[in-house]
Amino acid sequence: MHLFVTIPALNELDYLPRTLQALEKQQTKVSFSVYVCVNQPDSWWEQADKKDICENNRQLLFKLRRRHYAFPLHILDKSSPGKGWDDKNFGVGWARKTLFDHIMGIADPEDILVSMDADTVFGEHYLDSLAQNFTAHPQQQVVSVPYYHPLTGDEAANRAILRYEIYMRNCLLNLYRIDCPYNFTAIGSAIAAKIKALQKINGITPMKSGEDFYLLQKLRKMTPISNWNDEMVHPAARFSDRVFFGTGPAMIKGSQGLWDSYPIYHYSLFNEVKKTYDLIDRLYTEDLSTPFIAFLKEQFKTDNLWEPLRKNVKDLKHFRHAFHEKADGLRVLQFLKAEQTKLNIRDEQSLQDNWPLLISTASPDFLKKDFSFHTLTTEQLAELREMLFEEEMKKRRS
């Protein structure tokens, strides 16, 4: 087994050295190599407002090529003049695709691709834990690794990342609660997969943002995803506009009080999805109506959702699989977002209502009152994050 660590890098001169340092400290007998794709659109060299990014990438390439590392380091230069992206196909999704395609062309099927980001650190046994994880579970092909954003000296950044984690962990715990097959959190620096699994799905789809979500969704349609690893990753909590949506942009919007795109989804909406899940066997032979089914009909622009599936499967087992391929993780999230706006309920009320269903311990006193995320102290936000995190780890372990 060989581990291929892949890192897209754009304007990462200040962060990537820490990630590479964490890799140099790895205590493992398993062989690994690191592939960094320094990338940007080629046209940025001619744009005055992009000059700083171009220079940052140039300096990063220079330092990477000059220094000797304790592991094999390979550089994919998609940044130097004449080597960058065109103006249509660029972004982190294309960087990951370039890395993934390169690795899939040289690796053995049982080797492991470790998806990483340039601002992420981890313990000295991280790679060893992944190797042991896949060795102990030979049928396992994909791991969605636990994550935890360390707090910083920036109060605004701390509050934003804590609120964002509360959003993500509330969602995942509810997905666990209803036994959703797509119960994973998509973070690009927290994914590891066997090469043969990536080859079966033809690698990653090069989205400008959200490529990690679509990657895990494609993999889940092929094979179960493990959500547990003994070691976790620690992505940086920072304001960033390198991607169009995700952690960095969410923090920027959140610091401005704009959390509409990242609400605390109410438990009742997950219950509506679960009601439909409970009807799957009946849907094999009859048409039924639920709010989630009505939403799916609207999304697919048809009133005849299930008959084509019935005709194309040989039995109920295959119909269940076909149902979840159609009503996939994206459709579940779209339903949650659309229905949340109709509830006209504050995020704070959603969290209060959700808490008894998600957390096995009593809620803190400040959560029992009429509170606001804006007025909670950073320490109180951190306490909420910690309690959700601990409950999520219990679910992941199981």
- Is the pLDDT reported for residue 152 higher than 70? yes
Per-residue pLDDT band at 247 (split at 50, 70, 90): confident
Q: Give yes or no: residues 231 and 331 share one domain.
A: no
pLDDT of residue 242: 62
> What's the mean pLDDT in 72-100?
95
Is 236 part of a structural domain of the chain? yes
Q: pLDDT, tens digit, for every residue of 295-354?
A: 999 999 999 999 999 999 999 999 999 999 999 999 999 999 999 999 999 999 999 999
For residue 160, give Cα distances in angstroms to 345, 355, 365, 382.
21, 21, 22, 11
Counting residues of the chain whose pLDDT is more than 90, the rounded percentage is 89
Q: pLDDT, tens digit, for every residue of 59-74?
A: 999 999 999 999 999 9
Number of domains present in the structure of the chain: 2
Rg (CA), the chain: 22
372 Cα distance to chain centroid: 27
Q: Give yes or no: residues 188 and 272 share one domain.
A: no
148 Cα distance to chain centroid: 12
pLDDT of residue 210: 87
What DSSP letter does each residue of 107-161 carry, written as one string?
S-TT-EEEE--TTEEE-TTHHHHHHHHHHH-TT--EEE--B-PPP-S-HHHHHHH
- Is the pLDDT reported for residue 243 higher than 70? no
Is 398 part of a structural domain of the chain? no
pLDDT of residue 48: 97
pLDDT of residue 270: 98
Whole-number Å distance between alpha carbons of 326 and 105 = 31
Residues 7 and 118: beta-carbon distance below 8 Å: yes
Least confident range of 99-103, 213-217, 254-258: 254-258
- CATH number for 126: 3.90.550.10
Is 131 part of a structural domain of the chain? yes
Is 92 part of a structural domain of the chain? yes
pLDDT of residue 240: 78
pLDDT of residue 112: 98
Q: Give yes or no: residues 204 and 70 share one domain.
A: yes
pLDDT of residue 208: 72
For residue 31, give Cα distances in angstroms to 96, 109, 315, 342.
21, 15, 44, 52
Is 145 part of a structural domain of the chain? yes
Q: pLDDT, tens digit, for every residue of 170-179?
A: 999 999 999 9
Q: Give yes or no: residues 69 and 135 share one domain.
A: yes
Per-residue pLDDT band at 207 (split at 50, 70, 90): confident
Per-residue pLDDT band at 248 (split at 50, 70, 90): confident
- Please, which residues bridge with residue 114 across strands? 5, 192
Q: Give yes or no: residues 7 and 68 share one domain.
A: yes
> What's the mean pLDDT in 363-380?
94
Residues 6+ apart with CB under 8 A from 311: none
What DSSP letter does each residue of 210-265 carry, written as one string?
-HHHHHHHHHHHHS--B---SS-EEE------SSSSSHHHHHHHHHTT--TTS---
Ramachandran sector of residue 219 (left: φ over 0; alpha: ψ -120 to 50; beta: rest): alpha
Whole-number Å distance between alpha carbons of 259 and 350 = 14
pLDDT of residue 239: 74
Is 302 part of a structural domain of the chain? yes
Q: Give yes or no: residues 76 and 207 share one domain.
A: yes
pLDDT of residue 251: 75
What mean pLDDT is reported for the chain?
95
Q: pLDDT, tens digit, for every residue of 103-144?
A: 999 999 999 999 999 999 999 999 999 999 999 999 999 999
pLDDT of residue 209: 75
What totals of helices (H) and strands (E) does the chain contain, helices first? 17, 8
Residues 12 and 117: beta-carbon distance below 8 Å: no
Domain that holds residue 34: 2-154+183-243
Is 275 part of a structural domain of the chain? yes
- Is the pLDDT reported for residue 5 higher than 70? yes
Is 231 part of a structural domain of the chain? yes
Q: Give yes or no: residues 200 and 280 share one domain.
A: no
DSSP letter at 81 equals T
Residues 6+ apart with CB under 8 A from 41: 84, 85, 86, 87, 90
pLDDT of residue 246: 74
